[in-house]
Amino acid sequence: MDKLSLVREFWDETPCDGQPTYALRSQLRYKKEPWLLPLLDRIANTYPSILEVGCGQGTDGVTLCGRMPAGGRYVGVDMSEVSLARARSAAAEIRERLQVTPHFGFENAEQLSFADNSFPCILSVGALHHSENTERAIAEIRRVLAPGGTAFILLYRTIAPKVFTAHVLRAVQRSLDAILRTDRILYRALRAVRREEGAGTAVYECFGVPILRSYTRASMCALFSDFSSLTLTAHGSGRSLARLGNDPLGYLWLAEAIK
């Protein structure tokens, strides 16, 4: 099976954050990532039309649609049909609270079907570092982004303790797989236990996702070099510093890239 199919299979098997309902997923997500809600508020109140690439189970997308003014447009795309089905269920779960009706559809981030210059805002939260060709996905986002529009792209930060530890654990698993001639042995052992994770599906992702990249500040600048301007901030440790965009332990880069 090719890498892209393996990535899709993983997310079908283990949708991001787990949890059976939007209420439970959103509670888990924004408790872990309190800095995300102010960012979503800013996006919802600034841009009338938003594309989210790698929307997963639609938690952020549905949250955006509850905060955007009436008349706005939100489109969320993903390669996991299981996640997309759950995203649609999430929208139906709180339909009466939504100002904007979300539209969820199947897309490959590396070959988006949208026309050039289609959206003034594109969001991608922790998805494209699992892409087979992240550079191509960023190029597609730039193509679809309207002139003067902003892409908000979150990618793993190499020097963060959480990400560094994940790389070490994945290296251990690769060594075991090489010795025992297995495939992701630790991930499959965890899946066999099937214990509900208090932290969602982060542990499964660490061991199970086929592609996991991370970036230094220099490599982020290179990745977004075709944009007219780039602002980078670190987020995600759960500390209060994350709210200020000055989080030395943050595991995610937030790239605000203007076309």
**Does residue 78 sit within a domain?**
yes
- Give me the residue label for tokens 């888990």: 28
Count of domains for the chain: 1
Cβ proximity of 152 and 43 under 8 Å: yes
User: Range of 234's domain?
Assistant: 3-156+213-258
**Does residue 36 sit within a domain?**
yes
For the chain, which ranges sit under pLDDT 70?
A: 1, 194-200, 237-246
Which pTM was predicted? 0.91
**Does residue 107 sit within a domain?**
yes
What local confidence, expressed as pLDDT, does residue 240 receive?
A: 44
Q: Which residues contact 250 (CB under 8 A, 6 or more apart)?
A: 157, 160, 234, 235, 236, 237, 242
Q: How many residues does the chain have?
A: 259
SS (H, E, C) 49-113: EEEEECCCCCHHHHHHHCCCCCCCEEEEEECCHHHHHHHHHHHHHCHHHCCCCCEEEECCCCCCC
2: left (phi over 0), alpha (psi -120 to 50) or beta: beta
**Does residue 57 sit within a domain?**
yes
* H or E element that contains 235: strand 229-235
Bridge pairing between strands 73-78 and 103-106: parallel
Q: How far is CA 203 from CA 170, 192, 245, 258, in A?
A: 11, 13, 25, 33
**Does residue 186 sit within a domain?**
no
Q: How far is the C-alpha of 65 from the C-alpha of 41, rounded, in Å?
A: 10
**Does residue 93 sit within a domain?**
yes
What local confidence, expressed as pLDDT, does residue 13 receive?
A: 81
Segment 165-191, tens digit of pLDDT: 999 999 999 999 999 999 888 888 887
**Does residue 181 sit within a domain?**
no
Structure tokens at 158: 């190499």
**Does residue 42 sit within a domain?**
yes
Instruction: Report the CATH number at residue 73.
Output: 3.40.50.150
DSSP string, 131-175: SS-HHHHHHHHHHHEEEEEEEEEEEEBTTSHHHHHHHHHHHHHHH
